[in-house]
Structure 1
Amino acid sequence: MIYKKLLMCFIICTAIFGCKEAVNKEHVKDISSKELLKIIESGDVQLIDVRTPAEFNEGYIENAKNVNFASPSFAKDITTLDKDKPVIIYCRSGNRSGKSVKDFINAGFTKIYDFNGGILEWKSEGLPLVTDTP
Structure 2
Amino acid sequence: MKKEFLFFLLMILVQVTYGQVKNKSIIEFKEVASEGFVLIDVRTPEEYAQGFIGGAINMDMKNESFVSNIQQIDKNKKVYLYCKAGGRSAKASKVLDSLGYKNIINLEGGFDAWKEAGNVFVVQ
Checking the alignment, whether the CA contact within 8 Å between 1:56 and 1:66 is kept in structure 2 is: yes
Moved runs in structure 1, 4+ residues, more than 6 A?
Answer: none
Amino acid at match of 2:49: N
Superposition CA RMSD, Å: 2.3
Residue 26 of structure 2 is aligned to residue 38 of structure 1: no
Q: Provide the TM-score with structure 2 as the length reference.
A: 0.82
* Alignment coverage as a number of residue pairs: 114
Asked if 1:131 corresponds to 2:108, the answer is no
Distance in 1 of aligned mates of 2:16 and 2:114: 27
Structure showing the higher strand proportion among its residues: 2
Aligned counterparts of 1:25 and 1:35: Cα–Cα separation in 2:
24
**Counterpart code for 2:27:** K
Q: Larger Rg: 1 or 2?
A: 1
Equivalent residue, structure 2, for 1:10:
none
| Structure 2, unpaired ranges of 5+ | 1-10
1:7-36 deviation per Cα after TM superposition (whole angstroms, max 9, x unaligned): xxxxxxxxxxx98xx579831111113321
C-alpha deviation, 1:89, in angstroms: 0.2
* Higher RCO (C-alpha under 8 Å, 6+ residues apart): 2
Query: Which position in structure 1 is the counterpart of 2:19?
Result: 26
Structure 1 gaps, min length 5: 1-17
Percent of paired sites with the same residue: 36
SS of corresponding position for 1:115 = strand
TM-score (norm 1): 0.76
Q: Which has the higher helix share?
A: 1
Using the alignment, how far apart are the partners of 2:24 and 2:89 within structure 1?
12
